[in-house]
């Protein structure tokens, strides 16, 4: 459809802000289903058919609303390594949206993709049609080198976290065993039974060794929280043993004596011998 053009008119050569009668009549007319737009130059032009279709839903076209036509779909050919993928996508989609479609086929996440068209890497916000992508256009997909480095760093970080979790878990099991022994000694001393001091000092030494192991573990995030929990358990056990050591020293040693009953020597019988 050819665009109908109407200029501003004024008595002083077109510099006033009023419209000509013809322009006003045409702009106000509802006989035709045509929209009008004002160009920066001051001209009133009839909108193209594709603009009418796109603006019908927004009330640009007068009269009954015309449902907007969907943008055409194109098929692009994407080369990835030794494989080639043909993907159907909207002609007005962005490269970021195309990457999401490619992720399902290649297994490569959008953030790790590098799309090149006509020898130039395209950003996620770039539009296909603006960059000149048409039906059966050829693009190249590669893995972003930066993403490879990021994944390597992430794997290294996860490996360190896993190592720290295993080490902390092993120490936690040892703390459980030593804590049971501390509770056993506490029960004995509470009942008034004195225990060998070497048992208390040995437990304290073992717990202090665990504290040194915990301190040598490099932990982050949740691992750091678990490390702090075990460190507090060790500290609590040591403090408990220090108190028990003092209480144990105040207890008297229990001496057990046994009274033996004496018996008289048995009577002996003399036997007579016969030849």
Q: Do 198 and 179 belong together in one domain?
A: yes
Q: Do 92 and 119 belong together in one domain?
A: yes
In this predicted structure, the answer to whether residue 239 has a pLDDT above a threshold of 70 is yes
Q: Do 246 and 154 belong together in one domain?
A: yes
Q: Do 136 and 154 belong together in one domain?
A: no
**Pair of tokens at residue 184:** 């056993």
151-168 pLDDT per residue, tens: 888 888 889 999 999 999
- The answer to whether residue 88 is domain-embedded is yes
Q: For residue 22, name the pLDDT band (cuts at 50, 70, 90).
A: very low
Percentage of the chain exceeding pLDDT 70: 68
pTM of the model: 0.47
Adjacent-strand bridge partners of 120: 117
- The answer to whether residue 132 is domain-embedded is yes
Q: Do 184 and 114 belong together in one domain?
A: no
In this predicted structure, the answer to whether residue 252 has a pLDDT above a threshold of 70 is yes
Q: For position 149, what pLDDT does the model report?
A: 83
Question: Of 143, 173, 194, which closes a domain?
Answer: 143
User: Which domain range does residue 201 map to?
Assistant: 150-250
- The answer to whether residue 216 is domain-embedded is yes
Q: Do 91 and 159 belong together in one domain?
A: no
Domain CATH number, residue 95: 3.10.20.90
66-89 pLDDT per residue, tens: 677 888 899 999 999 889 999 999
């Amino acid at each position: 459809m050819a665009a109908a053009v109407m200029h501003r008119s004024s008595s002083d050569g077109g510099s006033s802000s009023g419209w000509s009668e013809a322009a006003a009549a045409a702009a106000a007319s509802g006989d035709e289903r045509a929209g009008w737009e004002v160009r920066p130059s001051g001209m009133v032009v009839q909108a193209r058919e594709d603009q009418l279709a796109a603006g019908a839903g927004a009330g640009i076209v007068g009269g009954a609303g015309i449902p907007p036509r969907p943008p055409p779909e194109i098929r692009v050919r994407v080369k990835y390594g030794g494989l080639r993928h043909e993907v159907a996508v909207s002609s007005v989609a962005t490269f970021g949206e195309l990457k999401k479609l490619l992720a399902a086929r290649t297994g490569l996440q959008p953030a790790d993709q590098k799309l090149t068209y006509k020898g130039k890497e395209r950003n996620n916000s770039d539009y296909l049609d603006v960059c000149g992508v048409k039906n059966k256009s050829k693009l190249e997909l590669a893995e972003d080198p930066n993403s490879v480095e990021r994944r390597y760093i992430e794997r290294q970080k996860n490996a360190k976290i896993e190592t720290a979790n295993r080490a902390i878990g092993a120490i936690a099991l040892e703390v459980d065993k030593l804590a049971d022994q501390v509770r056993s000694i506490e029960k004995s001393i509470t009942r008034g039974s004195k225990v060998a001091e070497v048992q208390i000092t040995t437990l304290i030494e073992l717990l202090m060794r665990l504290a040194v192991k915990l301190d040598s573990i490099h932990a982050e995030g949740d691992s750091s929280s678990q490390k702090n929990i075990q460190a507090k358990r060790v500290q609590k056990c040591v403090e408990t043993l220090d108190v028990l050591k003092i209480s144990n020293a105040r207890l008297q040693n229990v001496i057990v004596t046994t009274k033996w009953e004496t018996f008289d020597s048995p009577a002996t019988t003399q036997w007579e011998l016969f030849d």
